[in-house]
Structure 1
Amino acid sequence: MKLAVLGAGKIVGEFLPEAKKIPGLELAAIYGRRLAAVAPLAEEFGIPRVYTDVEECLADPEIDTVWVAVPNTLHYEFSRAALLAGKHVICEKPFVLESAQLDSLAALARERGLILVEAITTVHSESFGYLRGCCPRSGRSACSVVSTPSIPPAWIPSVRASPCTPPSIPRTAVARSWT
């Protein structure tokens, strides 16, 4: 994965040291409105290309995926632009601010055969732990769980309740991929 980081806030500074440890992940570019904010990050983490124009960044043929880590009010705009540019999108939470925005992004991702996911850590959540415990009881050797607490079930066409999902866990905690 050749990743462009879109943003330079606190979460980016926390992510970059961990990203360097992920096999197969290449930090290909970083975008920020101010060069003074992104240039030091690029230097510290060996990111070869720095952009202050998001359209130039998204036009870079060396990038196949973007991580949208800009302010929440810009998530839809940046995710949509990335999908239109043919990039896979990992969008920081909250994904978008309105259900119609998610519907639009999901349709665009499907239409273009791109991956669109919300960046959310679930492995330490109570719901995820419970669901992981349900997998062996279901007789499956592998279990894929997508935790989407900020997305109502109606937004994900293939959400299905698991027989082991207790009422306290939202239905959206168990889903299949929808792209």
Structure 2
Amino acid sequence: MMRFSETTQAFYDDAYEKNALVNDIPQDISDVSDEQYRAFYTAINDARRVYAADGNFTLSAPRPDNFHTWDNSQKQWVLNDEGVVQQNAEEVASAINMKSLLLSSAQTVISEWQSELLLGVISDEDKTRLIAWLAYIRELKAVDTSRGASTTFPELPRP
């Protein structure tokens, strides 16, 4: 017989209870059928919660992301203050990484033109491109990444 605990979101079988060194079986343990066991096991591995509602077990929607936590009183995933802070920090870090990647790519694009300019062998067409890319790099350096996912980046210069 398999048993399930809503509190721990875990399964317990007869062998666990017999072999436990301490009585750590949760108080909310309930018998579940083989069909329920398979369904709950799959749901839990798909980032869903199994919870009791009106005397029956119900499966939640999948957890939206790692920033949401389960609110047992509301029986739903919620984004609390801590989750908002963590989400914003990750979004800011992502924007910083994107800015760094774009700057590095832009520097790679202009490196040959800069050498040609120093040597005085750059074509007028490439000099115009270099100027456009340098303006892009200035705009990119001015981007404020503290807005996280709302960060907007300048458009790439035309080839």
TM-score range, shorter chain: under 0.3
Q: TM-score, normalization: structure 2?
A: 0.25
Q: TM-score, normalization: structure 1?
A: 0.23
